[in-house]
Amino acid sequence: MYITGIVQNHRHKLLAIGSMPDHIHIFLGYNLNHFIPDLVEEIKTSSNDLIKQKKFSRYKFDWQKGYGAFTHSHSQLDQVIKYIGTIIKDHSGMNIWSCLTKMKSSSMMNIYLIFLME
């Protein structure tokens, strides 16, 4: 819910979010008044601070440098949401926090942002 709040506070429409052990997918309807690098920076900085403060991982955690950003049209909306839902299902409903608690050593995660274009 933490990353969801960041996304929604900047008036993006969160469509799906899913986490893997080494990255997360965030699918959103993009608010053109907010720069993509600023959104990524806030997600990484804020969540990194929270992870360390709440000690969600026994090991050193950092986000990887950079991010992936992809666009999809409205015609692909259901397919992308289904894909992200499949990730969650295949990984027993894991979210970023459960991925962190299962880490066996220091780790880095990456962010993949997927934007729905009007």
Q: How many domains does the chain have?
A: 1
| Residue 102 or residue 2, greater confidence | 2
How much is the pTM? 0.77
3-state secondary structure the chain: CHHHHHHHHCCCEEEEEEECCCEEEEEEECCCCCCHHHHHHHHHHHHHHHHHHHCCCCCCEEECCCCEEEEECHHHHHHHHHHHHHHHHHCCCCCHHHHHHCCCCCEEEEEEEEEECC
pLDDT at 63: 85
The predicted-structure confidence for 71-102, as pLDDT tens digits, reads as follows 888 888 888 888 888 766 555 555 555 554 55
Name the residue range of residue 50's domain. Answer: 2-116
Per-residue pLDDT for 26 more than 80?
Answer: yes
Over residues 60-67, the mean pLDDT reads: 84
